[in-house]
Chain A
C-alpha cells in the first residue's frame, strides 16, 4: 500500500538532485569562458533546455493525452515573438523595425527596471516569458475549438496546417508594425546579457536562466502528470470511451491538455529567442516540430525524463559530438571527402531511424528516471482484452 514516508523521502531526493544540478550549472556558467573549448557544453545546456522543455510539453500532449499534434513550431513561434516584442528596449526599437513604424512600444524589463531597479528588470523578463506562454495558450484555445474534435492523423495534419498559417500571418507585411514582417527581431533581452551584480563581483546567468526556466516548467509538468488531471489525461489516451463513461469530460480535458502543452511550448519559444538572440518566423518550420517529435521518440513516448534525455542527446549529438563528421576528422579518422558538410545529419538521421525501427520504446519507454535507476521490475499493469 501507500507508504507516505518513503514517498516523501523519494521526493526530497529528487528535489535535492535538481538543486545540485542547478548549482552545478551556475558554477559552470562562471568557470567556462566563451573562448574555451568546453564552452560547447554551455551551448548544449542552453539549447538543450529549450528543446527539453519543448519535447516535454509535446510529450504531455502526444504521449500522455494521446492527442497527436504537430503544431508545436507554431506555438513556439508565438512565444518567441511575444517575448521579443515586449522586451526590445525603446532606443533599439526603431533600429529593429527599420521598415515599419513599431506599434508596440512597451518593454517590460525597461519599464519595470526603471521603477524597481535590477529586480524589476528580472521581473520584466519573467513577465514577458509568462505572457509568451499565455499568448500561445490563447491561440491554442482558439485553434483547439475546431480541431480537437478531429481524430488522430486528421488532428496531426490540421495542427501542422495551423502552424503554417501562423507562420504566414507573422510574416505578413500588414502586421509589420507588430511583427516586423519577414525581418528578424533582435536586440531584445537575451541570455548573454543576463548578469547578477553582487557588489564587486558579477555573476553570469547566461546559461543558468534558460536551464532554470526549463527546470521549473518541467517540474510543473511532472506535477501535472501525476495529479488527478494528469491521470484523467492518461485515461483518455488509454480508452476514450471508458474515460467518458467514468465522467471525464473529453472536450474539456483535451482542451486543458492542449492549452497547457502550448503554454509551455510558448515559454520554450521565448527561451529559444532568449538563447539565440534573434526571433524569425522562418526558423519555425514544420521541420522543427519533426525534430522535437523525434526527440520525444528517442527518449520514449510517455516518459518525461525520457524526453529530457532525448532532447539533450539530440542536441549534444547534432551540435557537439558528431561535429567531426562535418569537418573532416571523426574519432581520429581523417577523410575529408566523406566527412564533409552535412554528413553529421545523415549519420544522425540513420541513428534516429534505427531507434524508430528497432528500439521502438526509445531510451526510457514509459518509465521515469528514478524508477529506472531503482531497477524496479515493470510495474503491474492491469489485465484486460481489447
Chain B
C-alpha cells in the first residue's frame, strides 16, 4: 500500500465517552483506489470510528489526515498549549486544534452513508440526490431563489434505500466514499447485487472506499485489505486471506473456546 497515495490516514485515534473507550488508539490507512473494510463484532466501535473521521464527534485524542493533510486533530496537550512553556509549546505552536464540522469534511471530499439509514423522508428520491449537490452549487442565495426553472418531484419509490443513500453520497463528488453497513437487512441475492454495485463504483469512478460491513461474503469478496477491531482496539490487519485465518479474529467473532 505504500506505493499508493494515501487518501485517509488515522494516527492513534481515541474516542472516549466518559469512562467508556469506544475507539482505542486506532491507526489505519486507506490508499487511493483501494477498497478497505473495517470489521468487528457488534459494539466494537466501527461506527464510532466513522463518526470520529467525518467530524460528527471530536476525537479525544489522535489525528485524522485526509489526502495527505491533517483535518481532524486533538492532542490533550494541544488544548493546553497556552500554559505550556518550552519544547512542548514549540511542538504545538503551529498546530491549532481543529474542529471541522461534517459539512466541511464533506466539502473536502469525504462522503458517507449511515447504518441506520438517514434519508430525508419528506423528500423525493430525486430531491434526496439533488440536495446532496447543493454544496457544489455556486449561485448565490438570491439568484437561486429567483431561478424558477426547476424540476418537479420525481414520482418513483426507493426500492432499496441503501442504494439511494450511496447515490446521495456520490452526488457530493467525493474522493472517499464511506459506507456504514450498506448490506444491512439485505438477503443474499441483494447482497450479491450490492457487491457488484460497489465494485462498479470503484472501477467506473476510481473511487476509494472505506466499508463497515457484517456480511463476510461481501467483505471478503471486494476488499483489498481489512482492519479488524474489537473493544475499540485494532486486533488484526491484512488481506482477506490473512484475516480469514487469523486466530484472534476467529476468537473475536466466535468467542474464545473454553477448552482451547
Chain A residues near B (Cβ < 8 Å): 1-4, 7, 11, 220, 223-224, 226-232, 234-235, 237-239, 241-250, 256, 302, 366, 379-386
By a CB distance below 8 angstroms, the chain A residues around B54 are: 245
Compute how far the CA of A258 lies from the CA of B245 in the bound complex, rounded to whole angstroms. Answer: 57
Please tell me if the beta carbons of A227 and B147 are within 8 angstroms of each other in the complex: yes
The residue from B107, B122, B137, B144 contacting A366, defined by CB atoms under 8 A apart: B122
The residue from A11, A246, A385 contacting B168, defined by CB atoms under 8 A apart: A246
Please tell me if the beta carbons of B146 and A384 are within 8 angstroms of each other in the complex: no
Beyond A242-B119, A245-B106, A384-B118, whether A227 also contacts B145 by CB under 8 A is yes
Of chain A, the residue at the smallest CB distance from B146 is A223
A and B contact pairs by CB, cutoff 8 A, 21 listed = A226-B150, A230-B145, A235-B123, A239-B118, A239-B119, A243-B120, A245-B54, A245-B56, A245-B102, A245-B111, A245-B118, A247-B132, A248-B135, A249-B103, A250-B101, A380-B125, A381-B124, A382-B121, A384-B119, A384-B158, A385-B116
Please tell me if the beta carbons of B124 and A244 are within 8 angstroms of each other in the complex: no
Please tell me if the beta carbons of B157 and A229 are within 8 angstroms of each other in the complex: no
Compute how far the CA of A380 lies from the CA of B125 in the bound complex, rounded to whole angstroms. Answer: 8
Please tell me if the beta carbons of B158 and A383 are within 8 angstroms of each other in the complex: yes
Compute how far the CA of A243 lies from the CA of B128 in the bound complex, rounded to whole angstroms. Answer: 10
A325 CB to nearest B CB, Å: 38
By a CB distance below 8 angstroms, the chain A residues around B157 are: 380, 382-383
Interface presence of B98 (CB below 8 A)? no
Please tell me if the beta carbons of B144 and A2 are within 8 angstroms of each other in the complex: no
Greatest chain B CB density within 10 A among A231, A302, A385 is at A231
Beyond A223-B148, A247-B135, whether A380 also contacts B156 by CB under 8 A is yes
Interface presence of B154 (CB below 8 A)? yes
Please tell me if the beta carbons of A384 and B168 are within 8 angstroms of each other in the complex: no
Compute how far the CA of A245 lies from the CA of B117 in the bound complex, rounded to whole angstroms. Answer: 13
Q: A245-B118, A384-B161 are in contact. List 7 more A-B contacts (CB 8 A).
A: A231-B131, A239-B120, A241-B118, A247-B136, A248-B131, A379-B155, A383-B158
Compute how far the CA of A385 lies from the CA of B114 in the bound complex, rounded to whole angstroms. Answer: 11
Compute how far the CA of A256 lies from the CA of B56 in the bound complex, rounded to whole angstroms. Answer: 22
For chain B, residues 70 to 118, give those with C-beta under 8 angstroms from any C-beta of chain A. 101-104, 106-107, 111-112, 114, 116-118
Compute how far the CA of A231 lies from the CA of B101 in the bound complex, rounded to whole angstroms. Answer: 20
Please tell me if the beta carbons of B145 and A381 are within 8 angstroms of each other in the complex: no
Interface presence of B141 (CB below 8 A)? yes
A-B contact count (CB 8 A): 144
Please tell me if the beta carbons of B119 and A228 are within 8 angstroms of each other in the complex: no
Please tell me if the beta carbons of A242 and B118 are within 8 angstroms of each other in the complex: yes
B177 CB to nearest A CB, Å: 12
By a CB distance below 8 angstroms, the chain B residues around A386 are: 116
Of chain A, the residue at the smallest CB distance from B158 is A382
A174 CB to nearest B CB, Å: 37
Please tell me if the beta carbons of B161 and A382 are within 8 angstroms of each other in the complex: yes
Interface presence of B127 (CB below 8 A)? yes
Please tell me if the beta carbons of B153 and A235 are within 8 angstroms of each other in the complex: no
Greatest chain A CB density within 10 A among B125, B134, B136, B172 is at B134
By a CB distance below 8 angstroms, the chain B residues around A246 are: 103, 106, 111, 131-132, 134-135, 168-169, 171-172
By a CB distance below 8 angstroms, the chain A residues around B171 are: 246
B55 CB to nearest A CB, Å: 8
Please tell me if the beta carbons of B141 and A248 are within 8 angstroms of each other in the complex: no
The residue from A3, A229, A383 contacting B141, defined by CB atoms under 8 A apart: A229
Sorted from nearest, which 9 A-B pairs have the closest CB atoms?
A247-B135, A247-B106, A238-B120, A242-B118, A244-B102, A382-B158, A2-B151, A384-B119, A384-B117
Please tell me if the beta carbons of A384 and B121 are within 8 angstroms of each other in the complex: yes
Please tell me if the beta carbons of B128 and A382 are within 8 angstroms of each other in the complex: yes
Of chain B, the residue at the smallest CB distance from A252 is B103
A321 CB to nearest B CB, Å: 33
Greatest chain B CB density within 10 A among A7, A226, A235 is at A235
Interface presence of B194 (CB below 8 A)? no
Compute how far the CA of A223 lies from the CA of B145 in the bound complex, rounded to whole angstroms. Answer: 5
Compute how far the CA of A230 lies from the CA of B112 in the bound complex, rounded to whole angstroms. Answer: 23
By a CB distance below 8 angstroms, the chain A residues around B120 are: 234-235, 238-239, 242-243, 382
Interface presence of B152 (CB below 8 A)? yes
Please tell me if the beta carbons of A382 and B148 are within 8 angstroms of each other in the complex: no
By a CB distance below 8 angstroms, the chain B residues around A238 are: 120-123
Interface presence of B250 (CB below 8 A)? no
The residue from B144, B154, B161 contacting A1, defined by CB atoms under 8 A apart: B154
Please tell me if the beta carbons of B164 and A241 are within 8 angstroms of each other in the complex: no
Please tell me if the beta carbons of B144 and A228 are within 8 angstroms of each other in the complex: yes
Interface presence of B186 (CB below 8 A)? no
Greatest chain A CB density within 10 A among B127, B131, B156, B168 is at B131
By a CB distance below 8 angstroms, the chain B residues around A242 are: 114, 118-120
